[in-house]
Amino acid sequence: MNELQFSRQVKARLDEGLALSPETRERLRAARERAVARQRVREPASGTVVAGPHAAARTGGAAQLLVRYALPALILVAALLGFNAWQQANRDALLAVDAEAEEVAQVDAAVLKSDLPIDAYLDKGFQAWLQQFAGSHEDSQRSQ
C-alpha cells in the first residue's frame, strides 16, 4: 500500500463519520484546494520536476555550490591569513622596539639550555657567572 492509497482510505473513513452540512463541506473543499494549490510543485526551467524542502539547493548548480561552500571557505581562509599577518607584524614591531628585551630573552634561553645544575641558581656567585656568560654571549653575537 503506497502513500496515496493510504491517504484515500483515511479520507474515506473520516468522511464516513462526518455529518456535515453541504455549505461546510464546500468551505472545507475550497480550503483544501487552496492549501494544495500553495503546495504544488513548481517546474524549473530545465523541465525536470523537483520537490522537497531543499529543491532549490539541488537545482542551483555550480553557482549555488560556490555561494554556499566555496565563498565562505575563501572568506575564512582570508581571515585566518590576515590574522596571522597581523600577529606577525605585532610580534616584529615588539621585537624591533625592545631589542634589549630580545637580548635578555636570548640569554635566559641560553642559561636554561646550559648544563648548569639547579643548585647553581641558588648560589651567591650566580650573578657573577651570569654577567660573565652574558658578556661572552654578547661577544659571540658581535663576531657573527
pLDDT tens column, 93-112: 776 767 777 788 888 888 78
Stretches in the chain below the pLDDT threshold 50: 43
In this prediction, residue 59 carries a pLDDT of 56
In this prediction, residue 12 carries a pLDDT of 82
In this prediction, residue 73 carries a pLDDT of 93
In this prediction, residue 139 carries a pLDDT of 64
In this prediction, residue 42 carries a pLDDT of 52
For residue 51 the three cell numbers come to 520537490
d(CA 137, CA 106): 9
In this prediction, residue 85 carries a pLDDT of 94
Helices (H), 40-117: 55-59, 61-65, 71-97, 99-113
Residue 144 is given by DSSP the state -
Residue 136 is given by DSSP the state H
For residue 15 the three cell numbers come to 468522511
pLDDT tens-digit readout, 73-94? 999 999 999 999 999 988 887 7
